[in-house]
Structure 1
Amino acid sequence: MKKYFFKVLAQINKAILPSLSKRRVDLTKASKLQLALFGWRVYVTKNALD
């Protein structure tokens, strides 16, 4: 159930949230909001793959 939830959430994130790699955002110069977005996407992806 948890894995399914995160897979659906990952698909929603992919559709709605902007891709930082396509925008060529340098993580050393990223804003706090961009870092939070990056962390959120990593967290969701990690849990969707487990």
Structure 2
Amino acid sequence: MFKLLAKLNHWLLPNYTKEQLDLTRATKMQKAIIAWKYFVTTRAVD
């Protein structure tokens, strides 16, 4: 299930690494997206 969510995240959510987003200037929504992607990715790897 988490592998499917990880693929959906890759397609649907923005990639802040390519945009070189500074975490100190990120909005709460951007931080929430980063946290969600991290959560799903760590679960998909296990």
Q: TM-score, normalised by structure 1?
A: 0.88
> Unaligned regions of 5+ residues in structure 1, if any?
none
Q: How far does the alpha carbon of each residue in 1:2-50 deviate from its partner, in whole angstroms, 9 at most, with x for none?
A: xxx0000000110111101011100111000000000000000000011
Q: Which has the larger radius of gyration?
A: 1
- Paired positions, count: 46
Query: Structure 1: which 4+ aligned runs deviate by more than 4 Å?
Result: none
What fraction of aligned residue pairs are identical, expressed as a percent? 43
| Runs (5+) with no aligned partner, structure 2 | none
Residue matched to 1:41:
37
